[in-house]
Amino acid sequence: MPNPRNSKPPKQPNFLKRRTFAEGKAQVDAAHVATWRLYCEALAFWRRCSSAVCGRHRRCMGEPAGCLIRGLSRVPLAARLKAEQEVIAGGPRRIAPASHIEWTVRRSALATLTSWKLG
């Protein structure tokens, strides 16, 4: 049995620690990918997708950026505006944002969202 006098107290998490640039970039990239998937679900791009996995799951399971860029030209403006409101609400499944960064990305304009480069 361990001796309680010799054991160290559990290390407390340091909430004042700042994240590195790479960690921040990874979080922003993940927020963009999640938002792209919500747009693909809101616009039902899985119906026209050639991937059988997307059709089986009835949502985007592949590369959401490519599907969004390819399919956006066939979507009328009224449907885009409706999809923006649906994405802010969390898509068809009403998924809450995973972080504040994702909350912010969901509210950004669709033009800036599609111009984001992962990396």
pLDDT single digits (tens) 81-92? 999 999 999 998
Residue that is written with structure tokens 């409101």 in the block: 85
Helices (H) and strands (E) in the chain, counts: 6, 0
71 pLDDT more than 70: yes
pTM > 0.75: yes or no: yes
In 43-99, which ranges are continuous DSSP H helix? 52-57, 64-72, 77-89
Residue 54: the pLDDT is: 82
Q: Provide the CA 46 distance to its chain's centre, in angstroms.
A: 17
- How far apart, in Å, do the first and last CA atoms of the chain sit? 50
How many percent of the chain have pLDDT more than 90?
Answer: 44
